[in-house]
Amino acid sequence: MDSKTIAAITVFAALTIALNLSPIKIPAPYAPFLIYQIWEIPIVAAALLFGLRVGAAVSVINTLLLLAIFPGELPTGPFYNLAAILSMLFGIYLVHKFPLIRSNSMAISGFIAAVTTVLPIYTSFQLGFFDLTIILIFTQLISGIIFLVTLYSYVQGKTQWNVAPISTITGVIFRVALMTIVNWIFLPFAPPVGFGLPTDVVLAMLPIIGVFNATLALYTIPIGYLVSQAVNSSMKMAGWIRKDEE
């Protein structure tokens, strides 16, 4: 690991921790125990600029410091955050890693838009504990916005923003999918692993937590792209060389 990479990890980790401990916290109006913050944005920017390993390193450093000084209501809470971030970064990484996804981003985002509309309908009818109305409104909003943005980017020939929408939706999908599994498995455990919640309560909470994870990723990833572009321009002016994502 060269000195520039170490410096980048240090700078982005410090920024992430500062934002994490800052008073910039907005409780979700539909579930006040879930908090919207902006500290994941530097992690996304670091991953876009220096590769997945750097983004993961910043995430791990942030987790270790939170465990030491501010774990939250649950001592193991930072590990939940780490799982959410890494799954989201992996979704972004796949888009940048495979040219086939980038070159067919409009078609893929359209396909995902259709799946995210049809699948919850099917699931809601199969599993009675899902709130059909909330899921349908949410998935329709996500799929429609992302497909329209991707279509606009394709027509305008904006390569970077042709990638950003599909990266956003893959980040959302991987984050929501993994965290649904993680919460379903671990929340029923007694503290400090989970909250000791009954299984039926956990199942009822999963759609709400899924909405939270998805909406958080929906603003974190696009802003991360904006930050990475601004930083990349500054790096070029300063003589730094951007690394390809590994």
The domain spanning residue 21 has which CATH number?
1.10.1760.20
In a domain, 103, yes or no: yes
Q: Does 178 have pLDDT greater than 80?
A: yes
3-state secondary structure of 191: coil
What is the predicted pLDDT for the residue at 37? 93
Dihedral (CA of 205, 206, 211, 213) sign? positive
Q: Which domain holds residue 60?
A: 3-238
Q: How many domains does the chain have?
A: 1
In a domain, 245, yes or no: no
| CB-CB neighbours of 9 under 10 Å | 21
pLDDT in tens, 56-68: 999 999 999 888 8
pLDDT higher for 58 or 69?
A: 58
Q: Does 242 have pLDDT greater than 50?
A: no
Q: Does 104 have pLDDT greater than 70?
A: no
What is the predicted pLDDT for the residue at 246? 41
What is the predicted pLDDT for the residue at 230? 85
In a domain, 243, yes or no: no
Share of the chain above pLDDT 70, in %: 69
Q: Nearest-CA neighbor of 82 among 170, 16, 162, 7?
A: 16
In a domain, 246, yes or no: no
What is the predicted pLDDT for the residue at 237? 67
What is the predicted pLDDT for the residue at 141? 61
Quick one: pLDDT band at residue 12, thresholds 50, 70, 90? very high
Quick one: pLDDT band at residue 244, thresholds 50, 70, 90? very low
The residue-averaged pLDDT of 226-233 equals 84
What is the predicted pLDDT for the residue at 21? 85
What is the predicted pLDDT for the residue at 40? 95
In a domain, 53, yes or no: yes
Q: Nearest-CA neighbor of 187 among 81, 80, 95, 93?
A: 80
- The letter for the amino acid at 178 is L
Q: Nearest-CA neighbor of 211 among 168, 180, 165, 189?
A: 180
Residue 31 belongs to what H/E stretch? Answer: strand 31-36
Q: How high is the mean pLDDT of the chain?
A: 79
Share of the chain above pLDDT 90, in %: 29
pLDDT in tens, 122-166: 655 655 545 545 555 565 566 556 555 555 555 555 544 467 777
In a domain, 63, yes or no: yes
In a domain, 244, yes or no: no
